């Protein structure tokens, strides 16, 4: 249980920071390339939601995978 907690305390913030960096880069490049409000209200928001959902699904996968392997080894 301790290893799972440590992994989550290190991985989740790192992944959320990586999501933030990706969104900043995509948003900055889009703005520099002349994207309008319609882009930011549709594609950019959907991309951000998809990125966060995929991050949380990956974290759920890590939790399930850790618990599954722990039960097999026990």
Cβ distance 40 to 30 under 8 Å? Answer: yes
Q: Considering all CA atoms of the chain, what is the largest pairwise distance in Å, rounded to the nearest integer?
A: 57
Q: Which domain holds residue 54?
A: 2-73
- Among the listed residues 62, 72, 64, the one whose alpha carbon sits nearest the alpha carbon of residue 9: 62
Domain count of the fold of the chain: 1
9-41: pLDDT as tens digits? 888 999 999 999 999 999 999 999 999 989 999
Helices (DSSP H) in 1-74: which residue ranges? 2-32, 37-41, 43-73
* Token code pair at residue 1: 């249980």
To the question of pTM greater than 0.75 for the whole model, the response is yes
């Amino acid at each position: 249980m301790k290893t799972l907690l440590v992994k989550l305390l290190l991985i989740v913030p790192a992944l959320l920071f990586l999501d933030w960096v990706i969104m900043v880069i995509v948003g900055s490049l889009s703005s520099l390339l002349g994207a309008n409000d319609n882009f930011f209200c549709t594609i950019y928001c959907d991309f951000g939601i998809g990125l966060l959902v995929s991050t949380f699904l990956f974290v759920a996968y890590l939790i399930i995978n850790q618990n599954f392997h722990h039960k097999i080894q026990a």
